[in-house]
Structure 1
Amino acid sequence: MPNETNTIKLNIRFKENNHLLEVKKNILIFEVINEHFKKENILAAKVNNCEADLHSTLNNEDFLELFTFESKYGKHVFWHSSAHVLGNALVNLYNCKLVNGPPIDEGFYYDIETDKTLGNEDFKKIEKEMIKIINKNSKFVKKTLKIDDLKEMYKENSCKLHFLNQIQKECLNNKLKDENFDDKISVYYNDEFFDMCRGPHVLSTKIIKSVKITKSSSCYFLNDSKNKSLQRIYGVSFPSKEEMKEYEERIKRSKEMDHRKIGRELDLYFFNDYSPGSCFWLPDGTIIYNRLMEFLKKEYIKRGFNEVITPNMFHINLWKESGHYENYKENIYAIEGEDFALKPMNCPGHCVMFRNTERSYKELPLRFADFGVLHRNECSGSLTGLTRVRRFQQDDAHIFCSMSQIKSEISGALNFLKSVYSKFDFKYTLFLSTRPEKFLGQLEEWNVAEERLREAILESNHTYVLNEGDGAFYGPKIDIVLYDAFNRKTQCATIQLDFQLPQRFKLRFKNELGEFETPVMIHRAILGSVERFIAILIESYGKNLPFWLHPRQIGICLVATTETVTNYVDKLCLDINQAFESSCNDVKIRIYDDCKDTFNKKVRKAATDGNKIVLIVGEKEAENNEVNVKKNDRSFNISKDILIKKIKTAIETKEEVKFD
């Protein structure tokens, strides 16, 4: 047993388990891992909730958290280290100037300055060089250098000098406050390669077992088109070859499910250079679009929303009054030579609508819902199918309420969200973003609002992740991150409190005492952009969309085109759709009766056309008032009335037609 004075105690957390260890003094993090967690594939750590290099020395009573690649933070560190290996390879191969190389949600990239245009033909070469570097098993070694020394090292790299000058200004300000402030910057070395970096990193390059360069693109330094044009090289890496194989299979499946590909194959929509970023919705695509909006409109009636229509074009003064013009003018479509612009969002118009008449507390909460067409001047390089467009519609709503009504309105919004997303089996996570350093309004007002949001989340049986200080300056918010079929994260829904716009527009209502009070505004969307939501739906379901949404619901194949059969099929189609007259729904039916086609060809065609249900009707079915249902490798007869009942149930419940 070591002498007590030569030991320290550590509180260690690993995979939700807590450990209390007594270890030698001045022990390094990686030594703790080697001695006590050697078989656990740990590659990153935090000490007392702060990021830590694995060569860091531990002190008595430190709280040490350990992470594997399975964790979000573990991936972050692993891909950050992989970015350094990519930078090393690019310097070796092309003698380029490195700019910035961060980890991203799935992988990493490096921005570089070079005269050579890198494309697909370079990818294998870069991968080979990265593997060569990895196999050297070089350690990631942290050093701290003075800014002036680094400026000398990077004297030929104007982008790095820009970063260094910014850091130097911050250091000078800090030094004025504290003369003992250390103005050195951390640099990480792998053998002779180095790059300035905060870290942390994995222990050595050998931990990276598999790498792949995924794509390249052009970008501007600091994302400003006035600055230098750079090249961005993307990559992904894993701590095992098996994980890379799984990734490649997932990417292959996601390409097969790409909404742009399926949209073409099903004739749902297309894009044309005559109107970049604006979708042309074909008849079948329009059915999906309208059905989604009809679904929400029915929900609005149940949930006390008032649907409104606001102008598409407003005088520029509206955007100045709302504050959007100052921060958002690059994305606003102004009409040349005029003082008008197409609206990029609905909230200012709804404020004008609220202000149009004197309001009483008896009218609150007042819920405006708007499917108005929005236009945002996105740069052409960012336009991507339905996920990034210039013309779109949102299921946009704004709720005007008193402070005391916040909790119930947020609860209602969360229940609405759960109800809609459950129809598609979508999983999601809530992030509660609280007061930032700079904020508008009273501290007490913020504290009350944040507490009401917390209570609403918990009382609606949701859990949440706290994003402290990440709220907008005008109010706390709930960010909703949706996970698609490939576990990719997308933000569609919005629930955002706003103290600012009601003040900017001088909105007010008379409270119970007859005094004027400023309402709170809640921005709320469930689908978000309808276009983007449809892209997610298609990439999750492929051609097998839910029955109630599907533009090809039923295909009827005629065994023969006799008068008896055709008359019966006409009556069948009429009866099916008459069952939905009161609900304004109609069932999309395709008839396969081409005399030139054999019966088997009709059935094959109905299946390959993507019809959710394939029915077969011949003399026997017409005689018995039945249909033959072809499902997978079997077929069976049911009565026409039972079929209609099953279809009606499926559409009303938003579920599949159940025959079993």
Structure 2
Amino acid sequence: MTGTYQPANAGRGHLRQGKGDLFVLAPEMSHIEQGQSTAAEVLAQQDPKAAKKAIAARENGRLVDLSAPAGPHDQLTPVLPGEPEALEVLRHSAAHIMAEAVKELFPGVKVAIGPAIEDGFYYDFDYERPFTPEDLPAIEEKMREIVKQNAPFECEAWGRDKARQHFADQGENFKVELIDDLDAEQVGIYRQGNFTDLCRGPHLPSTGRLGAFKLLSVAGAYWRGDEKRPMLSRIYGTAFFDKKELKQHLALIEEAKKRDHRKLGRELELFSFHDEIGAGLVVWHPRGMILRTIIENLERSEHLKRGYSMVQGPQILKRELWERSGHFDNYRENMYFTEVDEVAYGLKPMNCLAHMLIYKSQLRSYRDLPLRFFELGLVHRHEKSGVMHGLTRVRAFTQDDAHLICRPDQLEEEILGVMDFITDFMELFGFEYSLELSTRPEKSIGSDEDWERATAALTKALEASGKDYDINEGDGAFYGPKIDFKLTDALKRSWQCATIQCDFTLPERFELTFIDRDGEPKRPVMLHRVILGSIERFIGVLIEHFAGAFPLWLAPEQVRVLTVTERADDWAREITQALVDADLRAEVDLRNEKLGAKVREAQMMKVPYMVILGDREVEERMLTPRLRNGKNLQAQSLEEFITLLKEEQAEPLDRLRRRRQSRRA
């Protein structure tokens, strides 16, 4: 079992999801000495009412079980239902209870790992057959039996050898492998009822404290995400403290199914995937291509207005360049390679190398900086087959990529400028967002000094922005730390799209220089950044955010003109051409079909406006617009209708322009 929890805030940024050993013995698992108080007892003395509700405790900023020993100088606070950490503890415990249920129902099953995740929990199992949705009701019923038993979650510290032997005797080879990979003399063991698991904790006081839960789905998952390792059965579930919260969450899941961009992509004729072409490779249909062209053209325009220069690099670069950059040593499992004229090349997964060579193409002065190179660059990455998902995880995608090369004294201003750019775009598309600072990963390049400088620069900019942020330890890029922007969609789901990465290392490796005021060559610093990220991924998020009903300025088809009789055909063609001439996206439906069928089809395609033409409209040369929700507007002239559409289309873009201009004032 794996799981990590947020310690108490330290300053504006607060820590989340550390990457340490998750099974190593934590101090809270120490043996309780005679006469020593537990966390629960100390909390009861401080606040009996809160102690009864608590499901865990914070001890000096870290989460512990209520049964953990508490020293006289420890600072203890209760973890109460309603707090994010409490929900993680609840789901962490639910995963253990599910694993116990599966072990009881399916003799011979082996357990792997099962963390609490953002919206629930999962556990991976190895069994003689894959689990199916039909297995879930029986597992749920067994879980309810375990909850009724109200067995305590007991934590113990076992020696490494004892733990290894215990799981080996049970045939739990996955647990044995995890223990073998740990560098620790003791490990954490949790027991509830007849189930024992390798775990750091913490957990609920007992199984009876588990609230409302539901098992949701099954899927295949490779052991440790490695497609060369065994395929396991993953069971997903979710849990909440009360039934009302669970009911609301399940309603959101049903709504998410309706909004699934893969389903809507087919229905709205936006894009498709084909086995004949290959997994993770998107085919854009006319409507989808209009949508992405609107977004890409907006990006080009806004970048030029914000001081960026448009560039473009080739799709393949010699392997020696990828070796020099560090990608070959640190990223090659995600890359594709080929050979041309007996020379090895790498298909680019990122755009930064060509941008650095553009910078090196001439001598640069301190007066030239900053330089901002922007590219809508097509990249290819070898995503594993098990993680690809519609547009949100593909193997070929376009990034709205830019590299800002600047003097160190310009760094904070450039970071804040990118943050403002991202904020403007999130407001335009109607997204709220949160911020996350990701620090140095275990696999990285560059000196400690460079990493400290880069992390300090991002931290300083975040503090200057006045925005709250989390610290995601160990999840930076291999060449530098980064700020990730997690946008929130209409269903309150989080998506990572925009990012800013601070890099002192690649300018060093590629020997980038500028001539400073003193006439001496100095090393610049580089920011890697995207505003929307992958265009494919962002469009997938947009589809689900709007449920395919795009606002007028984004809609691939803005108006559909429908005729009641053939007598209206000429007027319909005239209206449609006038709309097109006014740079609006309009189509005409002259088919000899019932009007109701034409209207339903336009509504199914989520066209914002319909214009229905009968004899009266022809005679009066008027039109009656109809919204996709069925509301009819008053009859109006063609000129009035065009004005209405142009104003509605321009409003969000005018708002973006005003925001950009206000930042310059």
Q: Could you say whether these structures have the same fold, taking a TM-score greater than 0.5 normalized by the shorter chain as the test?
A: yes
Q: Which amino acid aligns with 1:164?
A: I
* Counterpart among 365, 373, 381 of residue 368 in structure 1: 373
State the match for 1:313 in structure 2: 316
Deviations 1:397-427 (A, max 9, x none): 1111111111121111111101111112101
Deviation at 1:543, TM superposition (A): 2.4
How far residue 301 of structure 1 moved from its aligned partner, in angstroms, is 1.3
Report Cα offsets for 1:557-576 as digits up to 9, x if no partner.
234443xx545444433443
- Contact 1:366–1:401, Cα closer than 8 Å, also in 2: yes
Residues of 2 paired with 1:437 and 1:551: CA distance?
45
Helix, strand or coil: the match of 2:314? coil
641, 651, 654: which is aligned to 1:653? 651
* Pairing partner for 1:627 from 599, 623, 640: 623
Equivalent residue for 1:5? none
Find 2:97's aligned residue among 81, 85, 89: 85
* 1:427 paired residue number: 432
Alignment of 1:326-341 (within 5 A): 326-335=329-338, 339-341=344-346
Seen in structure 2, the aligned counterparts of structure 1 residues 606 and 189 have a Cα distance that, compared at 3 Å, is closer
Shift of 1:238: 2.3
* Counterpart Cα distance in 2 of 1:109 and 1:650: 45
Whether 1:158 and 2:173 are equivalent positions in the alignment is: yes
Deviates more, 1:345-354 or 1:526-535: 345-354
Deviation of the 1:471 alpha carbon: 4.4
Letter in 1 for 2:586: I
Q: Distance in 2 between matches of 1:52 and 1:161?
A: 25
Residues 168-247 of structure 1 aligned to structure 2 (within 5 Å):
170-171=183-184, 183-247=185-249
User: Helix, strand or coil for the counterpart of 2:88?
Assistant: helix
> Match for 2:543: what amino acid?
I
Report the secondary structure of 1:386's partner residue. coil
Q: What is the match of residue 659 of structure 2?
A: none
* Structure 1 residue 599: Cα displacement: 4.3
Pair 1:486–1:600, CA change in 2 (3 A): closer
CA distance in 2, matches of 1:317, 1:126: 54
Alignment CA distance shift 1:355-1:238 (3 Å): same
Secondary structure of 2:392 counterpart: coil
Q: Which residue of 2 aligns with 1:17?
A: none
Residue-by-residue CA offset, 1:144-188 (whole Å, 9 max, x unaligned) = 222222222122333222222333xx23xxxxxxxxxxx433311
- Checking the alignment, whether the CA contact within 8 Å between 1:547 and 1:655 is kept in structure 2 is no
Whether the aligned pair in 2 keeps the contact of 1:546 and 1:655 (CA below 8 Å) is: no
Q: 1:130 to 1:613 in 2, by over 3 A?
A: same
Paired-residue identity, %: 36
**Alignment match, 2:412:** 407
Q: Answer with 45-54 or 59-68: which moved more.
A: 59-68
The verdict on how the C-alpha distance between 1:114 and 1:569 changes in structure 2, with shifts beyond 3 A counting, is closer
1:609-628 counterparts in 2 under 5 A? 609-618=605-614, 620-621=616-617, 626-628=622-624
| Distance change in 2, residues 1:223/1:577 (3 Å) | closer
Q: Separation in 1 of the partners of 2:604 and 2:517? A: 64
- The answer as to 2:97 corresponding to 1:53 is no
Given that residues 626 and 633 in structure 2 are in contact (C-alpha distance below 8 angstroms), is that contact kept between their aligned partners in structure 1? yes
1:29 equivalent in structure 2: 39
Matched, 1:589 2:605: no
1:548 has 2:544 as partner = no
Task: Confirm or deny: 8 A CA contact 1:440 1:499 kept in the other structure.
Answer: no
Partner of 1:380: helix, strand, or coil? coil
TM-score, normalised by the number of residues in structure 1: 0.86
* AA at the equivalent of 1:638: Q
Letter in 2 for 1:298: S
Paired residue type of 1:329: R
CA contact (8 A) 2:561 2:576 kept: no
Q: 1:45 to 1:523 in 2, by over 3 A?
A: same
Match of 1:280 among 278, 283, 287: 283
Structure with greater Cα Rg: 1
1:354-365 equivalent positions in 2, closer than 5 A: 354-365=359-370
8 A contact 1:118–1:216 mirrored in 2: yes
Q: Describe the shift of the 1:217–1:616 C-alpha distance in structure 2 as closer, same or farther (beyond 3 A).
A: closer
Residue by residue over 1:38-57, the C-alpha shift from the partner in whole angstroms, topping out at 9 and shown as x without a partner, is 59843222111012111124
Of 463, 466, 482 in structure 1, the residue corresponding to residue 468 of structure 2 is: 463
Q: 2:132 aligns with which of 119, 122, 143?
A: 119
1:379 maps to 2:384: yes
Partner of residue 30, structure 2: none
Write out aligned runs for 1:489-638 (5 A). Answer: 489-562=494-567, 565-579=568-582, 586-594=583-591, 596-618=592-614, 620-621=616-617, 626-631=622-627, 632-638=630-636
Q: How far apart, in 1, do the equivalents of 2:571 and 2:466 lie?
A: 50
Offset from partner CA, 1:220-271 (integer Å, 9 cap, x none): 3333344444332222222222222222211111001000111111111110
Read off the aligned partner of 1:62 and give its amino acid letter.
D
Query: Do 1:83 and 1:101's aligned partners in 2 also have CA atoms closer than 8 Å?
Result: yes
SS in 2 for 1:606: helix
Structure 1 residue 74: Cα displacement: 1.2
Matched residue, 1:477: 482
Shift of 1:390: 0.7
Aligned length: 613
Task: Report what 1:8 is aligned to.
Answer: none
How far apart, CA to CA, are the structure 2 residues paired with 1:616 and 1:291?
Answer: 27
CA distances 1:273-319 after superposition (whole Å, capped 9, x unpaired): 12221111110011111111011111011101111111111111121
SS at match of 1:248: helix
Determine if the alignment matches structure 1 residue 101 to structure 2 residue 103: no
CA gap of 1:221–1:573, structure 2 versus 1, over 3 A, is closer
**Distance in 2 (alpha carbons) for counterparts of 1:77 and 1:126:** 21
Check the 8 A contact 1:313/1:343 in 2, yes or no.
Answer: yes
In structure 2, the residue matched to 1:643 is: 641
Does the CA contact (< 8 Å) of 2:267 and 2:605 recur in 1? Answer: no
Residue equivalent to 1:177: none
CA contact (8 A) 1:547 1:656 kept: no
Helix, strand or coil: the match of 2:202? coil
Instruction: State the Cα distance separating 1:529 from its structure 2 match.
Output: 0.5
Quick check: 1:403–1:449 contact (8 Å CA) kept in 2?
A: no
Counterpart of 2:484 in 1: which secondary structure? Answer: strand
Q: TM-score, normalization: structure 2?
A: 0.86
Does structure 1 residue 143 correspond to structure 2 residue 140? no
Q: 1:186 to 1:458 in 2, by over 3 A?
A: closer
The residue identity in structure 2 corresponding to 1:142 is C
Deviation at 1:142, TM superposition (A): 1.5
Change (3 A) 1:319 1:603: same
State how far apart, in whole Å, the 1-side matches of 2:464 and 2:574 are.
50
Q: Is there any run of 5+ residues in structure 1 with no aligned partner, and where?
A: 1-11, 14-24, 172-182, 580-585
Tell me the amino acid that sits aligned with residue 322 of structure 1: S
In structure 2, distance between residues paired with 1:527 and 1:144: 46
Contact kept in structure 2, 1:546 and 1:656, CA below 8 Å: no
Distance in 2 (alpha carbons) for counterparts of 1:84 and 1:600: 54
